[in-house]
Amino acid sequence: MLTFNVSRLLKLKGIQNPTAYFMSLGYTKWQSYRMIRDDLAYFSLDRIEKLCLALKCSPNDLFHFYPNPSKPLPKDHPLNTLVRYDNTQKITDLLQDLPMETIIEIVEQAKSKSRPQ
């Protein structure tokens, strides 16, 4: 089953107040609430594009595919690329165990990758 999964992306991006964030992008409180709960049955393409621009992601990053165990897909099926594993806690745990010098180095590398070429 294909589902909307923006909550995972919000965690990875470190967005602390998703409701305020979405409302600052022009979404209503109700739309924000539903997005945070990953409770959307319909989402227009222009809204997906707006969200991708704001979060600097692709549409693939907004969705999750839960394979049906009774109907497995071939391993090379493209939907398998949308199977997500929640690694947000692992990232936090990893950062807590790193020395400050390494964290600073990672931040500097991330900054250099985010600058336009």
Residue 42, pLDDT > 60, answer: yes
Q: What are phi and psi of 15, to 5 degrees?
A: -80, 110
Beta bridge partners of 3: 64
Backbone angles phi, psi at 63, to 5 degrees: -125, 160
CATH for 2-85, options being 3.40.50, 1.10.1300, 1.10.260, 1.20.81: 1.10.260
Among candidate residues 63, 17, 26, the one with its CA nearest the CA of residue 47: 26
| Domain ranges for the chain | 2-85, 87-117
pLDDT value of position 22: 92
Closest to 91 in 3D by CA, of 11, 5, 7: 11
3-state secondary structure of 63: strand
Question: Is 0.85 surpassed by the pTM of this model?
Answer: no
Beta bridge partners of 34: none
What digits encode the pLDDT tens for the residues 55-109?
A: 999 988 888 888 888 888 888 888 887 887 665 656 667 777 888 888 888 888 8
